[in-house]
Chains A and B, each alone.
Chain A
Amino acid sequence: MLMENIFTQLPEIFSTTLWTILKIMAIVIPLMISVAYLTYFERRVIGFMQGRLGPNRVGYFGLLQPIADALKLMFKEIIHPTKSNNFLFLLAPVLTIAPAFAAWAVIPFDAELVLSDINAGLLYVLAMTSIAVYGVIIAGWASNSKYAFLGSLRSAAQIVSYEIAMGFTLVGVLMCANSLNLGEIVIGQSGGILQWYIWPLFPLFIIYFISAVAETNRAPFDVAEGESEIVAGFHVEYSGMAFAVFFLAEYANMILVSMLAALMFLGGWLSPFDFFPDGIVWLLLKVAFLLFFFLWFRATFPRYRYDQIMRLGWKIFIPITIFWIIFVGFMMQTPYREMFH
C-alpha cells in the first residue's frame, strides 16, 4: 500500500527510475549471494574430490564462510603500488565487474521474468562479455608489474581468440532459432528434451562450453592467473575489496556463461519432460549442473600452456564451428530441416 502511494505521488520519471532500480536490485542481490555461495560450493566440492573436507567451521557446515571472507576482504587495505597509475588501477576492477553484471539485463529467467526484453539480446550479451577484457588489460598495465603485465597480455589474447569460437557457436543457435532474442531462443526449444538445441548442435555445445571455460579464465585455461607461473597474473598487485571485485566478476561470469549455455542449448526454464511444469527451477538446476563441471575441471586437469591454448582455439575450434555452421545451413535446405527447426 505504502509503495503504491509513493509511486503514484512521485512524478512519472522518478517512479520509473525507482522501479527499474528495484528490479535491478532484484537481480544483482541474488546474483551476489549466488557468487558468494558458488565460492563456498567450489571449495567444498573440490575438497571432497581431493579427499578433504573444505571449509566446515564457520557456521553450520561452514555456510557462513563466504560471509566471513567478504568481511575480511572489506576491512583490508587496498594497496596501491608506488608507480602504478592510480586512476586506471581503480578503474580496472570497475570495468571488469560492470559488464559482468550488465549482461544480466537481458537474461530471461522465465517466460515473463526478464529485466529488458530486447530483440538483439544475444548481441548485447556478446558485447558485454567482450568489454570485460578491457578491465583485465588495464589492470595488468596500471599495476606496473611484469607479472601482472604478462598475465594481462595472456588474458587479452586468450579472451579475444575464444570470443571468435564462441561467437561462431552462437551463430549456430541463431540459425536454429531464427532470433537474437534469448526468450525466443528458449521458446524455440519447447516440446521436451529432444527439442533442445544441444542435439542438432552438439559439437557447438561442447565448443561453446570449453570456450566459456576459457573466456572466464578458469582451469585448465587459467594461464592469465597461472598460480604457479605468474603467481596471480593481472590481479597480483590488488588487495582487499579491489581484489574481491575481480573475484566477484570471475564468478559472476561463470554463472553468466552457464546461464547462457542453459538458455541456448538446454532449453532454459523449460522442463525436460512434458509432465513436469516449466519454471525457473529448471533453469537454476541446469545452471548448477553446468557450474559443477567448472569445478570438476579445476580438480582434474593440469594447466595448458599459453601457446597451446591459442592453437586449440584457432586451429581446432574455429574450423570445427565453421564446418558445423555450414553443415547446419546445408541440412536446413534438405527434408531433414525439422531436426534443426
Chain B
Amino acid sequence: MKVLIVAEIKNYTMNFGPQHPAAHGVLRLVLEMDGEVIQRVDPHIGLLHRATEKLAENRTYLQSVPYMDRLDYVSMMMNEHAYVMTIENLLQLKVPIRAQYIRVLFDEITRILNHLLWLGAHALDVGAMTVFLYAFREREDLFDCYEAVSGARMHAAYYRPGGVYRDLPSKMPQFQPSKKQSTSEINKLNKNRTGSLLDFIEDFSKRFPTYVDEYETLLTDNRIWKQRTVGIGVVDPDRAVALGMTGPMLRGSGVEWDLRKKQPYETYSDLDFKIPIGKEGDCYDRYLVRMEEMRESNKIIKQCIDWLRVNPGPVISNDNKVSPPSRSEMKEDMESMIHHFKLFTEGFHIPKGEAYAAVEHPKGEFGTYIISDGANKPYRLKIRAPGFPHLAAINEMTKGHMLSDLVAIIGTQDIVFGEIDR
C-alpha cells in the first residue's frame, strides 16, 4: 500500500542568545521547537567564565574579596559575606556584634537591590516596560548607600574577615550644583541626605513600602501579567528539592527553607521577620514570594537601624593577625607596625583545614568552600552558586511551554551569569 506523504513535519532548532535581549547577559540556549512549542532546551554556559576559583588560588585571602563582588554582580555584598564567613569559620574568628548588624543591614539592602533588578528584568521580559524604570529609580538610592559606606556603587569590597572595613559614615555624600542643575534643584535632591547614612536608609525604608505598592499596582492583579505567569514553569516541592533549588525558587514551590531561619548566622536569630512561601510553584507564586521578601527585608533593615543607632562599638575584630591595626597605632607601636606590614605583604595564614559557609543569598544558597593547606592563599576555593542548579532545571521547567513562556521562566529564575559561569 502506498502512503501519500503530504509534507514531512519535523522540529526545528533555534538559537536563543547569547545576544538576545532576554538572555540576561550571555545565556545561550539551543531550542528544539515544534512550531511555537518548546520540546527541548539545551543551555550553553561558559561565555562569562573568568576562572574566579582558580584566580583565588593565587592570591592572598584578602585579595580575593573583590572577586566575590563580581560573581553575582547584582548582589555584591552577599557574595563577600559567604566568603568572609568561611574564612572566619576556619580561623574561629569572633566578629563584633556591631559588625554583624552592619552586615545584616547591608545583606538586606543587597537583597532589595537584587530583587528590584529581578523585578524590573522579569517584567521587561514579559513586556511591562515601566516597572523596570521604577525599580531602577529605587536602586539608585541603594547604590548611594553602597557608595557612602564603601566608596563604590557596585563592587564594594566592604566585608572583611573579622568584620567590615569601616563604621557607617556620619555624613552622606551630597549632590553639588552644576551648570545643568540649579541650587534649588540640588537642595531638593539633597533633602534626605543632610543627616548620616543611617538617616538616609531610614528615610528610604519609610518610603519603600509605597514603592512596592506601586509595582504591585502595575502587576499583581493585572490580568495579562497573571495570564503570563500563572501556571507557567511549575515545579512541585519534591522536584524542587531534588533539583537542588534554593531561595525563592524553592520557597515558591511551598518548601519553607531559608538559611536565615534554619541555620541562623550573624544576628538573624534576634531579628523578627517572616519567610514567605508560595503554593503552586509557578512563576506567579515566585513573583509574590519575592515581592513579599522585599517587604520583609525592609522590616529587617528598620530593626537593624534601631539597633545600630544606640549601640556603638568596634566593627572589625581586634585580632591584628587578621585585621589591620589602626593607623595611629601603626605609627607608634612596633608590633602594630609589623602586623600592618605582614598583613599587606603576605596576608594572613589560615591553619590547615576545610570549611563551608553559606548565606541566604537573594537567589538561594550561596556558599563557599575553602580548603586550606596552611598557606596564605586557599588550596582550593569552591563556590556554590544558586543560579547553576536553577538553570540546569530549565529544560524540565519549559517543556511543552511556548517561546514566550521560556522568556518568563528565564526571568523567574533570576539568572545572573557572573555566578553561574564564575
**Chain A interface residues (CB < 8 Å from chain B):** 46, 49-52, 146-147, 150, 154, 219-220, 222-223, 226-231, 298-308
Contact = CB atoms under 8 A, between A and B. Distances in A.
A123 B219 CA distance: 40
Given A228-B21, A228-B407, A231-B21, A299 B224 contact: no
A220 to B, nearest CB: 6
Contact of B20 (A46, A146, A231, A301): A231
A51 B138 CA distance: 12
A303 B127 contact: yes
B32 to A, nearest CB: 12
A150 B14 CA distance: 11
Interface residues of B, number: 29
Interface in B111-160: 123-130, 133-134, 137
Interface stretch (B165-173, B248-256, B398-406): B398-406
A229 B14 contact: no
A260 B22 CA distance: 36
A219 B128 CA distance: 9
B63 interface: no
Nearest to B232: A305
User: Chain A CB within 10 Å — which of B133, B137, B225, B404 has the most?
Assistant: B404
A301 B134 contact: no
A304 B404 CA distance: 9
Interface in B1-31: 12, 14, 20-22
Nearest to A47: B133
Nearest to B15: A146
Interface in B373-388: none
Contacts, number: 81
B130 A229 contact: no
Contacts of B222: 301-302
B404 A229 contact: yes
Contacts of B129: 46, 50, 298-299
Nearest to B403: A229
B403 A303 contact: no
27 contacts: A50-B129, A50-B130, A51-B137, A146-B12, A146-B14, A147-B14, A220-B127, A222-B127, A223-B404, A228-B21, A228-B124, A231-B21, A300-B128, A300-B130, A300-B218, A301-B127, A301-B224, A302-B123, A302-B126, A302-B127, A302-B222, A302-B224, A302-B225, A303-B224, A304-B224, A305-B227, A306-B402
A166 B53 CA distance: 60
Nearest to B37: A307
Contacts of A147: 14
Contacts of A46: 129-130
Contact of A307 (B12, B126, B130, B402): B402
Most chain A CB within a 10 A radius of its CB, from B123, B133, B219: B133
